[in-house]
Amino acid sequence: MKLSPATKNGIKLVTGNRTVRACLIILSGVLLLSLIGPFASRHSVEAINFDESLISPTFTDGRVFGTDDLGRDLFVRTMQGIRLTMAVAVVATLVSLLIGVTYGVIAGYAGGKLDALMMRLVDGLYAMPFIFFVILLMVVFERSMLLIFVAIGAINWLDTARIVRGQTLSLKRRAFVDAARLTGVPSMRIIFRHIVPNLMGVVVIYITLTIPQIILFESFLSFLGLGVQEPQASLGSLVSGGVDSMEVAPWMLLIPASFLALILFCFNFLGDGLRDALDPRGDAT
Amino acid sequence: MSDLLTVENLGKHFIVSGGLFGNFLGSARRVIRAVDGVSFSIAHGETLGLVGESGCGKSTVGRAILRLLDPTFGKVSLDGRDISHISRRALRPLRQNLQVVFQDPFASLNPRRTVGQSVAEPIKNYGLAKDAELRKAVERLFMRVGLRKDQIDRYPHEFSGGQRQRVGIARALGTKPNLIVLDEPVSALDVSVQAQVINLLVDLQQEFGLAYLFIAHDLAVVEHISARVAVMYLGKIVEIADKRRLFANPKHPYTKALLSAVPSPDPDHKKNRIILQGDMPSPSNPPSGCRFRTRCPIAKPICAEEEPELKAHGKHQFAACHFAAD
């Protein structure tokens, strides 16, 4: 497949930026560890063993991260937490991307009354207290992973829609869009062939900056006990459990919290680095 | 010879509302009369130059003809068919005959598509060619506008401004149009490249019998390519004439002022440069009577009271001035 020069440029800029490269390496390392790690351990996620509860991290018996108050292996649970947190982040981002881009492009391209109506709706939704909205959802419906994905995605698409609409407004005034209209290209094809590809650059940067927000939000929900259900664990629920036994077993808090901090740091730096790398005004290369 | 394009009393007004509160109060709506009653016609294979300073509405005329904007009033006919009031669906097949080349060669090509894809798009849309045949057609167009075949699969950023403008011309030629609106096609280019592109346009016109509406702010460029020239000021045509008459014997004081600003290559040439005072008035609030009177060196009281009409002064020369005959 022949890559477009914009894509090629993007790849070059990204790999040429030291911060971005370092973050990508750390993130893929953590993800790889979380995928492979559990197989290397002979302990299971669920097995409760009161005889082995609250073992502090040690290299004997493969208890590198120790165990929790129920005697579950913390290494395996942390790795599972990372997987789940990352999965929530990715799926919620895709949901927000799908809704936000579609909504924003339609509003921006249509313009006029429809645009005004659609964006006022977004303004209205912005004004809603979403924590309560999510709590309500969790209470009314049976708690499930799917619901968490949808709820978080449904919050984040508002920002995406605004950004995409703004980009669309400026892109549709460009002469190549006029040229396409003049040569009889139907509106749908103009949107998908001429507008969407040209706003992806901005959207990609924006998305890398929203992933940490989503991770944080999911952790927050799990911390409140509204997130994932036992025996499953996310980093947020592990931190929440760690807080309870902070005084007797500090590793139960520190280990998942460190991983959470590391992942958040990397995504934030990745977003900043991407923005620097793709900003035509900066000379990041 | 029948006219290919006729524009009758074309007007485009923009309504500028006074912001959020202005909207609620229903006040502060200003009407910008960008184009206010413009008429002209273009014959098959002819070039009409449309000149005027920035903001006079010349590009708006072009966009209204192309139906990128819907005219507020007036009528545009292509080959005797009204194209200003039909639906976009009905317009689509007619657009094949009516193409455009834009001013900014950097904005007129999609940066994420190869130039070949951009040129092929109109041909494909009108079902004029497919697959291998389409590729052949694009190759022919590339060769015709002075680009190489092996440049088809490149992206716009790999080309210079002049080359991109050639790509834009190739795209416009793809559907075999009768009329091309050239919206300041060389204004963004270097002078040496301007000449090459203009010569290419002249060659293509002879080869394909194209008619051009050539929009420009530079009389020197227009002089080379046009058969007739129309001069616009503040949304109206103030003078329209055969090129030779307009350049040799301009009737309207605005045309005279514009011509006096054309640089001459002869250093000994003594110029009586007419310098116009002030700026063009706002099109939302044009002066009473003659629109040019606020800057006109020969304005008299009558100019404020009565708007001069476009009247014939000699064969094929029309000017809108009370004193054009003097």
B197-226, pLDDT tens digit by residue? 999 999 999 999 999 999 998 888 888 899
Q: Identify the CA nearest to A172 among candidates A181, A184, A159.
A: A181
pLDDT, chain B, mean: 88
Burial of A5 (0-12, 13-18, 19+ CB in 10 A): middle
Q: What is the pLDDT of residue B147?
A: 94
pLDDT(B242) > 80: yes
**What are φ and ψ of residue B249, in 5° steps?**
-145, 70
Which residue from B68, B99, B109 is facing A176, i.e. has the nearest CB?
A: B109
CB contact B126 to A (< 8 Å): yes
Q: What is the mean pLDDT of residues B266-291?
A: 80
3 state SS of B100: strand
Q: What is the pLDDT of residue A1?
A: 46
Assign B325 a pLDDT band (cuts: 50, 70, 90).
confident
List of residues 6+ apart from A107 with CB closer than 8 A: A114, A115, A118, A119, A161, A165, A168
With CB atoms and an 8 Å threshold, state whether B112 touches A184.
no
Q: What is the pLDDT of residue B73?
A: 92
Amino acid B121 reads E
Of A6-10, B207-211, B293-297, B321-325, give the lowest mean pLDDT range.
A6-10
pLDDT(B189) > 60: yes
3 state SS of A109: helix
Q: What is the pLDDT of residue B231?
A: 94
Q: What is the pLDDT of residue A4?
A: 62
In whole angstroms, how far apart are CA B304 and each of A249, B78, B301?
92, 37, 6
B interface test, pick of A7, A120, A170, A182 with most B CB neighbours within 10 Å: A182
Long-range contacts of A245-250 (CB under 8 A, 24+ apart): A245/A54, A245/A68, A245/A69, A248/A54, A248/A69, A249/A54, A249/A56, A249/A66, A249/A68, A249/A69
- What gap in Å lies between CA A73 and CA A54, rounded to an integer? 9
Task: Find chain A residues with C-beta within 8 A of B153's C-beta.
Answer: 2
pLDDT(B128) > 70: yes
Q: What domains are there in chain A, each with its CATH number? A: 78-277 (1.10.3720.10)
Q: What is the pLDDT of residue A3?
A: 62
Q: What is the pLDDT of residue A9?
A: 66
In whole angstroms, how far apart are CA B11 and each of A6, B21, B61, B65, B83?
41, 29, 8, 11, 14
Q: What is the pLDDT of residue B273?
A: 78
CB contact A18 to B (< 8 Å): no
With CB atoms and an 8 Å threshold, state whether B155 touches A181.
no
Q: What is the pLDDT of residue A233?
A: 84
With CB atoms and an 8 Å threshold, state whether A180 touches B95.
no
Percent share of chain B, pLDDT over 70? 94
A283 secondary structure, DSSP code: -
pLDDT(B27) > 70: no
A143 secondary structure, DSSP code: P
Please count the helices (runs of H) and the strands (runs of E) in chain A. 11, 0
- Residue in A closest to B66 by C-alpha: A182
pLDDT(B269) > 90: no
Q: What is the pLDDT of residue B24?
A: 57
With CB atoms and an 8 Å threshold, state whether A5 touches B158.
yes
pLDDT(B311) > 90: no
Task: Find chain B residues with C-beta within 8 A of A198's C-beta.
Answer: 110-112
Which residue from B98, B108, B155 is facing A179, i.e. has the nearest CB?
A: B108
pLDDT(B270) > 80: no
With CB atoms and an 8 Å threshold, state whether A183 touches B175.
yes
Give the residue ranges of chain A where pLDDT is below 70.
1-10, 13-14, 277-285
- What gap in Å lies between CA B176 and CA B324, rounded to an integer? 41
Burial of B15 (0-12, 13-18, 19+ CB in 10 A): exposed
CB contact A280 to B (< 8 Å): no
Q: What is the mean pLDDT of residues B177-192?
A: 90
Cis amide leading into A231 (omega within 30): yes
- State CA A265 to chain mean position distance: 13
The overall pTM is greater than 0.90: no
Q: What pLDDT, in 10s, does the model give residues B71-99?
A: 999 999 998 889 988 888 888 888 889 99
B307 secondary structure, DSSP code: P
Q: What is the pLDDT of residue A282?
A: 41
Residues 44-103 of B with CB under 8 A from A: 66, 68, 92-93, 95-96, 98-100, 102-103
- What gap in Å lies between CA B64 and CA B59, rounded to an integer? 9
Q: What is the pLDDT of residue B200?
A: 94
Residues 157-176 of A with CB under 8 A from B: 174-176
With CB atoms and an 8 Å threshold, state whether A4 touches B112.
yes
Percent share of chain B, pLDDT over 90? 45
- State CA A139 to chain mean position distance: 24
- What gap in Å lies between CA A156 and CA A99, rounded to an integer? 9
Q: What is the pLDDT of residue A17?
A: 77
- Residue in B closest to A6 by C-alpha: B112
Q: What is the pLDDT of residue B22?
A: 54
With CB atoms and an 8 Å threshold, state whether B125 touches A184.
yes
Q: Quick one: tokens of A23?
A: 């973050």
Size of interface A-B (CB pairs under 8 A): 67
